[in-house]
Chains A and B, each alone.
Chain A
């Protein structure tokens, strides 16, 4: 390359970067950029990775992506990209991209023990249909399942959920978002009666204080982090607190770093609440008008199986705690009981129930959480003095309580992946609500997400085992009725029994209750804790596993059939991010080889089943619901006939290619010349992504979940819109009368969510008056106690073990490990450990070590320096690396309310390999 050409490219790259970050550039520089990019076609798109939802610009040339950059007009990231976002265009071009269906075969036939061989899509669907019919025939709708995703586009999640819930009448669809967001969701619903955060990212620029609770934002949400550091720099009074179980990159600019012991965040929050009470700092105007106090049972188990039938010997002592635990000293104080008392976990099946209590009860409940008690219990770094730690806790409480100070709490997996995840989320709202610091610019408790459409798809569309679109649930007869009406289904088509959540689908595969699983847009066999069990289960002879993925993941390897999927920019789609912002993109390039979109895969598969396959009487073990015969879903074929369906109509026609949907024509001017391979492969002339989005949006419009018309999101001047979008206007702060059209006129605030508003009355010990009172427009302030982790270090397994992410890789590394530069930056997962812990085990940095838990052992390279600083007694291992496989040894205990796994705490030993 000539010097002139090189200099020219440099100045255009610099000018383009400067424009992106808001530095003015000259007309000449602008012209140079235009010249350099003259053959490129730029279009707006969204980053494929985390829940922040950065806007990116995507350049194509001759059917290839040639460049991506941060979108300067995107309000989320304002032109910036983190290192993962920067390489968005490259994740499509991994050397091992799957481009044809692969099935395990011997002598030209499917064989569970066979080797993968290429097959046609027809052959793939033929075998898949056969296996689906086998499992469905033997076990009914409960015997088949889909493992879905927080990375589904809105349309992918919608077609998968509709196929299962309206077609198959099975609620066994649950996303990997269960591992990520379920605790946040349960707390939203219990506290506010509606899902999703009230604030938005602009809170960062309005606040004076940001408190990170178990969220390493610097590594996991780098773009929001850049906004926080920006705010800190431009606003000298801005304070930043990083609460974590180990020192991480987010501590670098923190004013306060609080290292606490696992699970003691429960105690720290109650300490803050006690301080609020004792300093007479409750915002009574706010609390009296908008809140009600509540609590629930403490004896709720740990979300493990209540039988040891499937446990290996080493697992049995922990499993036994699912049925009864002996309270330790701290739990006894925290729960006002006696140490050494055995508590049967009687409410493991009803963990979510709760009732109203008085403020006096609440005061009594937080009284034990004195500074002395909480500091002693929660101090996480043995090398820190207790006095220093107390000063920090007190400072934190001071900042919370200072009525001149705005404050935002951010959290992600530290709270959500927690044996008491729902509780700890609710405690955060407790303190914000007590102080009236919620739902205002710069004030609020803000749950961040890990996946690009955990909010927009997994939650809003309702791809969970208990949900329907727009916050409705299968167990509620009115919600089923409304869904059946919108979906044009006969009454009682929808199954009222909650299906298996993702961990239970794995357990069901192990114990023979589910025999067909279709994995879509995620990698559950690497991502689910205690993975050895589930890998063995997948390989059991009568289980059939289908995995749709662009790359050969662990889940693909343990599958029987692999379907090659189109990736983000190879299809039309929409994501909804953590601040309720829906963003859409067009298909930019065609998928390689025979890869196809997940929408096409579900639509095509649905053609193979008819009304009479699914809508006759179905057995459903354990079903008990009003209006239903025990253990049975009724025959609705006659009712369907009355509605104009023939028993031989296929599900594609009944559910997807409906008369209304097929009127939405392709081609469509909104495409502006972009293609749609889903339409081409279907051989149709309707536009599924648009028609199905509009059909889905009907659920939420007028019901606090309004989405704008499809075409609006594609307008050049739109960079996503925050729902609810009412009369063309987005909602920046929910529940706040100034910003939210759903708040009744004249009211300052209204927590108007409709779910779980009516609750009985009681005291700290239980319900005293079972008659329910409806607390319309109010939020609940929950008291939740400290509870000890179910598995803790002991003499044999003497270290805490925590898993998580690193900056360069995302999730299980399926995409990021295909980008050579990201892979080279962090090729393998290393085990972080305190140098003194290494020394006392005769180990050195870079040694290969075994990490062993009750559930198995894995090998990794030891690291005692670098970005993460462990306190003594604590180790951290990232989970992106399938070679190291962190989740093999992690415990599959979950929050009993949300069923979300706690990946953040179990006990291991580490020794030289």
Chain B
């Protein structure tokens, strides 16, 4: 479960239209809007951080959006660190081939 606070900027004359579009996106709620500046703050709820990033991309793709950026987030997740030698560290030969290291996919 991730909740992110996202700052959105549109031109003031598009504020209503933008807020309506934003509210129509999954997990998005409009909390603050400023009619003078066109500033909007929304929260977005997403199952995981990957969905969170996809959500920001959806917002950026809406019409009349000038800026859309994360401001803060709240998350509950495991931050355990693994202290072992990365498996492909010795794989110098691996550098000769085009591929993404396996450990990044885990």
Tell whether A pairs with B: yes
**What 0/1 readout, one digit per residue, does chain B (36-67) give for beta carbons within 8 Å of chain A?**
00110111010001101100110000000011
C-alpha spacing A882/B1, complex, angstroms: 31
| Stretch from A168-176, A202-210, A321-329, A554-562 that touches the partner | A554-562
Q: How far is the CB of B61 from chain A (nearest CB, A)?
A: 11
Flag if A18 contacts B67 (CB, 8 Å).
no
Contact residues in A for B90 (Cβ distance below 8 Å): 115-116, 557
Flag if A22 contacts B98 (CB, 8 Å).
no
Flag if A17 contacts B9 (CB, 8 Å).
no
Contact residues in B for A67 (Cβ distance below 8 Å): 72-74
C-alpha spacing A824/B46, complex, angstroms: 15
C-alpha spacing A883/B87, complex, angstroms: 15
Contact of B56 among A68, A79, A83, A593 (CB under 8 A): A83
Contact of B95 among A20, A69, A535, A825 (CB under 8 A): A535
Flag if B6 contacts A9 (CB, 8 Å).
no
A-B contact count (CB 8 A): 170
Q: How far is the CB of B14 from chain A (nearest CB, A)?
A: 11
C-alpha spacing A17/B67, complex, angstroms: 14
Interface: B21 (CB within 8 A):
no
Contact of B72 among A11, A20, A100, A253 (CB under 8 A): A20
Given contacts A10-B43, A554-B95, contact A80 B69 (CB under 8 A): yes
Contact residues in B for A358 (Cβ distance below 8 Å): none
Q: How far is the CB of B23 from chain A (nearest CB, A)?
A: 13
Interface: A860 (CB within 8 A):
yes
Flag if A81 contacts B4 (CB, 8 Å).
no
Interface: A130 (CB within 8 A):
no
Flag if B71 contacts A20 (CB, 8 Å).
yes
Interface: A450 (CB within 8 A):
no
Contact of B67 among A12, A16, A229, A858 (CB under 8 A): A229
Flag if A883 contacts B101 (CB, 8 Å).
yes
C-alpha spacing A91/B81, complex, angstroms: 12
Chain A count of residues within 8 A CB distance of the other chain = 72
Given contacts A21-B39, A95-B82, A97-B81, contact A882 B95 (CB under 8 A): yes
Interface: A28 (CB within 8 A):
no
C-alpha spacing A509/B38, complex, angstroms: 56
Given contacts A558-B95, A592-B83, contact A81 B71 (CB under 8 A): yes
C-alpha spacing A17/B42, complex, angstroms: 9
Given contacts A817-B104, A821-B52, contact A233 B3 (CB under 8 A): no
Measured CB to CB, the residues of B under 8 A from A are 1, 3-7, 9, 11, 29, 31-32, 34, 38-39, 41-43, 45, 49-50, 52-53, 56-57, 66-67, 69-74, 79, 81-83, 85-86, 88-92, 94-95, 97-101, 103-104, 106
New A-B pairs, 16, CB < 8 Å, besides A23-B34, A100-B83, A226-B69: A14-B31, A14-B32, A16-B71, A17-B5, A18-B31, A22-B39, A79-B71, A82-B69, A95-B82, A99-B81, A222-B69, A230-B67, A557-B90, A557-B92, A558-B95, A882-B95
The 7 closest A-B pairs by CB, nearest first: A17-B5, A859-B98, A14-B31, A69-B72, A17-B71, A821-B49, A96-B86
Task: Please list 17 pairs of residues, one from A and one from B, whose beta carbons are closer than 8 Å in the complex, sorted by A's number.
Answer: A12-B74, A13-B3, A17-B7, A80-B7, A80-B67, A86-B69, A226-B9, A229-B66, A253-B66, A552-B86, A557-B89, A557-B90, A820-B50, A821-B50, A821-B52, A827-B104, A882-B95
